Each structure stands twice: as C-alpha cells, then as structure tokens.
C-alpha cells in the first residue's frame, strides 16, 4: 500500500509542476513550488535539493528570487544550520500576498512617481506628438486607477470568502 501512496503523491507533485509552469516560471521553479505547495510541513533546502535533483546553490538562488511573491517562509531552528522552507497553504491568503507583493508595487510607483511627471508634461505639451504621448500616459494612469479598484474588490471578496469558510 505504501508504494501506491508514494506513486499518487508523485503524480500530484507532477500535476502541481504543470500548474506552476502555467504561471510562466521555469522548470526548476515550478518543481520547487509544487513540492513546497503540497508538502504539509516545512522542508529543508537540502531535502528540496535532493528531491529535485538540483544543487543546493541552485535551490537557494531560486528561493531567493521567488520567496516573497509566492509566500515562502524561511524557518531557522535553534541548534541547526539548515534552512527550512514553508509555503502558505491557504490559497486565499497566498493570492492576496501575491497581489500585494506584485501589483501594489506597480500601483504605488505609478501613483507617487509617474503622476507628478505626467502633470508636469501636460503643462508643457505643445506638439501633436507630445499630446499623443500625453494621451498614452494619461490612459495608463486611468487603467492604473481601474486596476486599483479591481484589487480593492478582490481583497473584499477574499475577506468575505475567508469569513464564510466552513
């Protein structure tokens, strides 16, 4: 019975790999994300390297690049030199964190840095080419505002779903 269970677990990891590839990540990243996603407990980077067949250095570099966006936590145990990893399992929380870490950064930069420049550009735009560019810039800001509204709605829906979970 143990071999059958291990086979099913490996198939689930393979399907997870396929799912994460759909997010546009490379093979090693998809494999790491799938293992972390379906591992109920924290896992050491050494075990992750062993399970993926990649070097510890490769695993460490990939984790450094993806940990914030994918809600991966580093865990250090007293008396151990090993670094353990844990990926958030609550999909609603993980999704909210991805939005916060990715899209909110763009929104913040656009609103605080680009908006004043567009206002300054608007005051000086005189040629048709400059006015066309201004229209493109203003359209971008309009889209950013709509996107911000969408994100607020998504947060509201996430909170609603979390409160009504069984």
> What number of CA atoms fall less than 13 Å from residue 100's CA on the CB side?
11
Three-state DSSP state, 73 = strand
Q: Are residues 96 and 80 in the same domain?
A: no
Query: What pLDDT is attached to residue 135?
Result: 96
Specify the pLDDT at position 1: 62
Residues of the chain with pLDDT under 70: 1, 166
Query: Residue 127: CB partners within 8 Å, gap ≥ 6?
Result: none
Q: What's the total number of domains in the chain?
A: 2
CATH of the domain at 34: 1.10.10.10
Last residue of a domain, one of 50, 70, 87: 87
Could you say which of 59, 87, 115 is where a domain stops? 87
Tokens of 66: 């993806």
Range of the domain at 34: 2-87
Whether 25 and 16 have beta carbons less than 8 Å apart is answered as: no
Instruction: Report whether 76 contacts 123 (CB < 8 A).
Output: no
**Pair 139, 78 in one domain:** no
**Residues contacting 87, CB < 8 A, separation 6+:** 33, 36, 37, 39, 70, 71, 72, 73, 94
pLDDT of residue 166: 58
* Pair 12, 82 in one domain: yes
pLDDT of residue 122: 93
CB 11 within 8 A of CB 34: no
Span 102-147, pLDDT tens digits: 777 778 888 889 999 999 999 999 999 999 999 999 999 899 889 8
**Displacement of CA 108 from its chain's centroid (Å):** 17
Q: What was the pLDDT predicted at 88?
A: 83
């Amino acid at each position: 019975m143990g071999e059958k269970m291990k086979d099913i677990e490996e198939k689930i990891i393979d399907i997870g790999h396929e799912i994460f590839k759909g997010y546009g990540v490379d093979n090693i990243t998809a494999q790491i994300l799938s293992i972390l996603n379906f591992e109920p407990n924290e896992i050491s980077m050494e075990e992750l390297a062993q399970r993926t067949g990649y070097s510890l250095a490769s695993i460490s570099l990939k984790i450094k690049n993806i940990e914030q966006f994918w809600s991966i936590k580093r865990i250090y145990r007293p008396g151990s030199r090993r670094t353990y990893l844990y990926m958030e399992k609550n999909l609603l929380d993980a999704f909210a964190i991805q939005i916060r870490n990715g899209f909110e950064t763009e929104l913040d930069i656009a609103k605080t840095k680009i908006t004043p420049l567009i206002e300054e550009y608007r005051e000086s735009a005189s040629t048709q080419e400059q006015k066309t560019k201004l229209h493109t810039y203003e359209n971008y800001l309009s889209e950013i505002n709509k996107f911000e509204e969408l994100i607020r709605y998504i947060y509201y829906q996430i909170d609603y779903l979390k409160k009504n979970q069984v």
